[in-house]
Amino acid sequence: MDDDNINNNANSYIGGIVLQDIDTVLMYNNAVAMLDESNQSDIVAPIVIQSVRPNNPGTLFDINNNIYFSENNVIIRFIEQSARNPRDVSRPGSKFQYTGLEQ
């Protein structure tokens, strides 16, 4: 995503790929670059996932063989939802929680 010179507000999710309300992800062989520096949002990453935790029963997160570039060095932003009530965001995560591929 190129820099669009729009200063997005703090309530925005800005992601190359945004996945919400999911329990299964199979994502392979993608190239995602985030070049947008004009924003106020705390949630800016090549991949933004809003879901229940990956270790919950019945969930599968398999994300491999992808290429990422991000101006702010964040690769994935994970926003945890409650397993009991999917409308409840139990943990919004932190901006620099997933900055390396080893996680």
pLDDT, tens digit, for every residue of 53-100? 777 777 888 888 889 888 777 888 888 887 776 666 666 676 666 666
Residue 2 located in a structural domain: no
Question: In the chain, how many domains are there?
Answer: 1
Share of the chain above pLDDT 90, in %: 7
Name the residue among 37, 45, 55 with its Cα closest to residue 18. Answer: 45
d(CA 43, CA 96): 10
Task: Residue 43: give the domain boundaries.
Answer: 13-91
Residue 75 maps to a domain: yes
Domain assignment of residue 4, yes or no: no
* Residue 30 pLDDT: 92
Q: Does residue 102 fall inside a structural domain?
A: no
Q: Identify which has the larger pLDDT, 31 or 79.
A: 31
> Is the pLDDT confidence value at 31 over 90?
yes
